[in-house]
Structure 1
């Protein structure tokens, strides 16, 4: 990122090309630029190779972010994805890495379907909110559901107390000191690049479009919907008995991971599911 001169209202004005939030490729928050004299939006997200200090023509120091690349996503949506990955993982690093890809895959499956509402104007953030039971940030963080008062892991990601106002910037530097939070940001960067078709590595979720915890072991609907492959019947799913064969199931397991708090299973839609629904029954 550099500074150039531009005429605004006929007068020279310093313009910084990249205004927004900056993260390095390992998920570390490097800083943000929000200067009224510069072009762009502070809500924009950039990946960079770190930062350095330079001097301007007046000899004053200024911070510059090296080799910046736009992620083409707003910071609140970006951190909403990373926050969901951290909060729903059971603190398994593997699940944290999977969830951002799962959100993108879920979105692509919806928008590639024949359902009109998922066409023009349906954004990635719409998919994320849909996957979050249509809860807004405050409801997800604070409202009683599933036996708990909101999601304490999400509040931890934001560094807010119960019923405190949502602020994605408050813990920007604090997340740098938490390995799992940083991982959620690192893999959100990868998944957004994958979403933008700028990604050359593999989909870490292996095609996953959703995840569930062990509570589905006693849920009759999920017993009907989900086929768990033999290799994935372990930990909390070791006694799972499939109600249907694969060719009659809506979803099938992709992988299973044990975290600090419970086991998470990743799943995708089956071929049978797509025969009955262009969304794969999402």
Structure 2
């Protein structure tokens, strides 16, 4: 039966079996306002007509579009197989949807589709955990994307990374309307890029600090655990892109001072100070962190949560929090 039809079944003395009943089939096309996206991230179009139901700020997914003439012969666009996207039981605003997609796009580092899918789901997981919307969370310090990129993604953007980002956000939001929708990240709520491998634990001074050694994660969490398989995958991907070293803009002296330790070096490139770090950092080769066969770091200071790596995609590693 066509989805645009309504089946009315008469009830006789509380009996709804198909006997002595009257069936009435009425054609119905409901015209809805909103922005419509294919699940692959393609923008299909929008409706904003006063006679339609709903708001143009609503966001729908669809399986495609077609044209149909109304009674007057006017050609109308219809969107097929639509689903309304919601967040926290409310219709997500198109403006917020566009901003989420754009931030996810700039959080990613590769051309690998899964990287953007996983970032969107990790953002969804953490926003649910702390009771915020996805955009509220991404618009905070949770996302390191510059403020100038925390703006709406234009509907005209149809490059591959824009499509991957929209598709990832759509996939995550489907979890609000489909209880069977799975989380591909195994409950990840955080992620890190190449700097995690470059800055290490406590041997090298961070490029943006004159006092802080190592990546912040090693101070912030009770322990960090990475399976050997995921660690090797992460290293292979990052070194495959960067080689054996990675440069960062630095506030250090261009000549390494005696107060600095570690293996990083300095140079000036186009009048900018650079700190050059080994990939992976020497800290990751220390045997004390591999006694179980997997990487395991234990913070000397007690923290509320530990971190366990769940997956790697592109040049990003994803973490789930484990309450201690």
Give the shorter-chain TM-score range: 0.5 to 0.7
Residues in 1 aligned to 2:311 and 2:165: alpha-carbon distance in whole angstroms: 18
Among 204, 213, 221, the alignment partner of 2:216 is: 221
Superposed CA deviations along residues 28-60 of structure 1, whole A, max 9, x for unmatched, are 111011223333211100111211111011111
Between Structure 1 and Structure 2, which shows a larger proportion of helix residues?
1
Among 193, 196, 200, the alignment partner of 2:174 is: 193
Residues in 2 aligned to 1:133 and 1:25: alpha-carbon distance in whole angstroms: 24
Does residue 37 of the first structure (1) align with residue 51 of the second (2)? yes
Does residue 104 of the first structure (1) align with residue 142 of the second (2)? no
Residues in 2 aligned to 1:16 and 1:201: alpha-carbon distance in whole angstroms: 27
Q: Hey, which bits of structure 1, 4+ residues long, moved more than 4 A? A: 131-135, 236-239
Residue 162 of structure 1: aligned partner: none
Does residue 203 of the first structure (1) align with residue 203 of the second (2)? no
> TM-score normalised to the size of structure 2?
0.58
CA RMSD of aligned residues (A): 2.9
In the alignment, structure 1 segments of 5+ residues that lack a partner are 3-14, 112-121, 142-150, 155-165, 273-282
Aligned residues: 215
> TM-score normalised to the size of structure 1?
0.66
Residue 182 of structure 1: aligned partner: 163
Does residue 128 of the first structure (1) align with residue 138 of the second (2)? yes
In the alignment, structure 2 segments of 5+ residues that lack a partner are 5-28, 87-91, 200-213, 239-278, 290-295
Residues in 2 aligned to 1:183 and 1:221: alpha-carbon distance in whole angstroms: 29
Residues in 2 aligned to 1:37 and 1:84: alpha-carbon distance in whole angstroms: 34
Residue 252 of structure 1: aligned partner: 308
Residue 95 of structure 1: aligned partner: 115
Residues in 2 aligned to 1:229 and 1:36: alpha-carbon distance in whole angstroms: 56
Residue 158 of structure 1: aligned partner: none
